[in-house]
A and B are shown apart, each in its own frame.
Chain A
């Protein structure tokens, strides 16, 4: 029998289906308590509409794999960061034509610095690898993505924005 952790780790993200919930870093814990599987997940954004779908998919996969008693718990703290997307997840995103986020490091205490111009971080085009890209839209089709274009190959592409 596949372990509950293996089953939960293989469940895919509903909005970025190239990634598993484990790749995305939203799967925080899988534990067995008195025969019940307790899965803990964390939302990417406060208003992420996919969070309930993630819970339902986890429950369905685990029940299908022979774990009838499943509880999905939500964890808010520590808050999700794109730094939790695994190396494998970053490779999968790039292969699917979505630029992975850069690493931002831990949040610092105190006032959050203001950015009066869009950050000048370089984002490589997932199609041709050129660094000559620019932002088209700070928001994209889902809460976690922005839209960019490549000036070398002229392709538009999505970018998982750093938070």
Chain B
């Protein structure tokens, strides 16, 4: 049970809370009603018994109380001892009696209460009829019975005698019984709560286990394990849900595999086309130098035509080389061969063989050595520096440094910068910045290939706008 960590609004929490709430409410209701019934019956019995007792005693008294027209002779006088006897006969171990007759007031033995303890309105009501009331006096429960003694006259009329009696009946014993009952009921409720909680947790677990399995399976599906399936048990809603999940996963797997097959087919098509284009291109490339040399001796128009053909053959060659390279990277056939390379030297070499030395400022510490695939690194930085030179504006600066996480190379130009909306797309294939730029010198694959090569190293390339110009940052982690 871990309600603290999981929010109680979770399915598990809600299930447990609901279950416990229902169980506790039901048990509280039963206990409450039972308690009230018992209490009422108990108190009623005590009350009725006490009232009957008092009435019995009073009916049996034969004291000459009341006025002269009552049954008793006028000369008869109530003695103090008569009153005391009456008070004692009304009293008892758990009772206290206050007897009042005219100016006389008698208390039974052990009585600690006085008339002040009798509420005024009760005193008033007691003169007319027999009243009773449960009350707390000095923190103890008492039943107070009060009445004026009435007598029949000779004529049969009922007359008050002027004698008022208040009997305090202690309810302490009953209170004790009720307190024990309350304790027992509270304990029973506690046990009920514990049982309810246990049952709730167990049932929540049994309900939620399939839900959790479904959750795990959905996560696995999301992580690309499209063959994830769940066994279907029973015929309940969860079983239905599980079956639906399985169907959905199957459909998804099929769709994805179809898409993958289609994609693989199109990639293979591109790769095949590129390979097929290579043979005629090889033949054409072999003779371009010859054609260029011969163009001088041709009439001007023909010479221009030859130049055009040669130029376009070179473009086509770069495009096909890049397409083949991209296909290789796609197919996962590309292999990384890392070795320790002097980064500064590699960058200088890259510039030298492309004739860019002097056009790019290298700011690399001497002897900066890093383990990378030199050929792929060359492709990455050649693309970035080529872009900076062709599309940006000088000065183009390249810096490199070793971070704790790996190697970082920055290529920065001071041109107009790539439009902000285009920046996220520059690594996409054949993405051209600005629709107006119909043809660029590149193949449209350079940055995509550079990115794939960086990723093959486990690294990244990102571009950001700097005022002025653009900065591309290559990061290659340590092997």
A binds B: no
Taking Cβ atoms with an 8 Å cutoff, the residues of B that contact A are none
Taking Cβ atoms with an 8 Å cutoff, the residues of A that contact B are none
